Structure 1
Amino acid sequence: MYNDLKDKVALVTGGSSGIGKAIAERFAAEGMKVAINYHSGSEAAEEMVKAIKEQGGEAIAIKADTTKEEEFLAMFKETIDTFGALHVMVNNAGIQKDIVSHEMTTEEFDQVMNVNLRGTFIGCREAIKQFMKQKYKGNIINVSSVHEIIPWPHYAQYCASKGGVKLLTQSLAMEYARVQIRVNNIAPGSVDTPINAANFDTEEKKKGAEDFVPMGYVAEPAEMANIAAFLASKESKYITGQTIVSDGGLSLYPSHRNWEYDELAAEFTDEI
């Protein structure tokens, strides 16, 4: 779909499952060379690389803990050594934990902040260093959450980390706008990924989650990957410092949504 992405190099953190996996696969389908980062689940990452190569693409899998600076730097070096450049950086690695706030330890707080915010900062910093070295109008795509907007009981550390990603995105976008380095952010709502599996593991829970979303369904990771491909391409070249909230209307005060069309909704189609 985006011809300008062909042969460009992308590094995707947390790329072996969920939204990261969908983004890496979409980038490969666009003809990009993809470095797929994983922390655990090497088998899934290697299977992705094998599938991409079988389809004529180029990909590598790199194990790294994004909270450990030395491992992040080694991952960057391997990406550059393998593909010779970097054009798109996707900071997707993230975790969430259900913890009552007054019982949360500082270690538990730091763990989520380190993965979600500190790791994203390191990824942004190293990507910008490489773009400045290449004198290339590079592209950074961060992945936050609708909970950069919506408070979430028991997830104070998660919300704080994702709110930080939003302001980090805006600050870096402003700082490097003059040299055309773009920094944007995707804020997903309810998405059917392993990190959310416990929320959808029964029909009752799944229906409850779907009913809470004004558009009436939980998204697939590929729907977030579509946004990433757009942001990576020149089709979005005048967009920087922005968060694209992809949440089916979840941030629009869902308890106030219009219920009168529930029965009618099944009759609507996107077919012409």
Structure 2
Amino acid sequence: MATWRDQVALVTGGARGIGRSIARRLANEGASVCVNYLARADAAESLVSDIRANGGRAIAVAADVADDAAVEGMVDRVAAAFGPVTILVNNAGISHKGTLDNYDADKLERMRQVNVDGLIHTTRAVMTDMRRQKYGRIVNITSIAGLGTALPGNAFYAATKAGGQILTLRFAMELGPFGITVNAVAPGFVQTDLTRGSGNEAAWKERAQQIGALSMMGRVGEPDDIANAVAFFASPDSGWITAQVLAVDGGRMDYIGH
């Protein structure tokens, strides 16, 4: 029976924010972890150092998930270091606010390349070994935006995340016969460096209070809230759970789609 110590995890966009918490949580469970990053080598290497200092196994690998060849090379490096990937967490993603009035085709295309094509590239890169081993856990980090929230300015971002959710269901269907589960975690508004922005503390607290008030739990999320859900789907014990999209959002109430 598979155990956490047998697992090799690849977390894309793992240097900061939600990805950082996911990588740390999987390492704490006992998995070997590859922290993927694009620009923040310092953050990725500091996380790897922390994991190793606590007795874990980790490496950092730079790759743009929108680049198919770079993804293949990254997966090969992980296999050389730890063995074939058994857990893939598709966390890398970008967002741009936009409306019909200020639509930017170039920004939308780059967002699609990362949020949708990136998910395809990584899944294709790990699926051969997962099929051969008859085992795999794939967890896609999408967003409640893809389920249809009323937060203004994220229509095009939401479209890319909805694409990721549909791919989750379809890939689960294709890969299920090989013992591979494919699920998605759809975060609500989570406190990270990105969401906090460069404003002052008072402005952040006001914004967090306003958005938190839209949820049943009355607060915004923390990265560990998402990491906990990912660990559930990634667990060796979650082998009969697939094709699920789990909203981890504190019970947000501003949906427009259902």
TM-score by length of 1: 0.87
| Partner residue of 2:246 out of 244, 247, 256 | 244
Distance 1:216 1:190 in 2: 12
Asked if structure 1 preserves the Cα contact closer than 8 Å seen for 2:173 and 2:243, the reply is yes
Corresponding residue of 2:97: 98
Distance 1:16 1:233 in 2: 22
Asked if structure 1 preserves the Cα contact closer than 8 Å seen for 2:86 and 2:137, the reply is yes
Bigger-Rg structure (1/2): 1
Secondary structure, aligned partner of 1:141: strand
Deviation by residue 1:223-271 (Cα, 9 ceiling, x = unmatched)? 1111111111133211001011111111x4479xxxxxxxxxxxxxxxx
Corresponding residue of 1:219: 221
Q: Which contiguous aligned blocks of 4+ residues in structure 1 show a shift greater than 3 angstroms?
A: 198-201, 252-255
Corresponding residue of 1:228: 230
Distance 1:135 1:54 in 2: 31
Stretch moving more, 196-205 or 72-81: 196-205
| Partner residue of 1:149 out of 147, 150, 157 | 147
Corresponding residue of 2:138: 140
Q: How many percent identity over aligned positions?
A: 35
Asked if structure 2 preserves the Cα contact closer than 8 Å seen for 1:95 and 1:195, the reply is no
Q: How does 1:97-246 map to 2 (within 5 A)?
A: 97-132=96-131, 134-151=132-149, 152-198=151-197, 201-246=203-248
The code of the aligned residue for 2:239 comes to K
Secondary structure, aligned partner of 2:98: coil
Secondary structure, aligned partner of 2:247: strand
May I ask how many residue pairs the two structures share in their alignment? 251
CA-atom RMSD in angstroms: 1.8
Deviation at 1:71, TM superposition (A): 1.2
Structure 1 unmatched runs, 5+:
256-272
1:51 aligns with 2:50: yes
Distance 1:206 1:135 in 2: 44
Structure 2 unmatched runs, 5+:
none
The code of the aligned residue for 1:77 comes to D
Distance 1:112 1:136 in 2: 32
Deviation at 1:40, TM superposition (A): 1.2
1:62 aligns with 2:64: no
Distance 1:102 1:96 in 2: 17
The code of the aligned residue for 2:71 comes to F
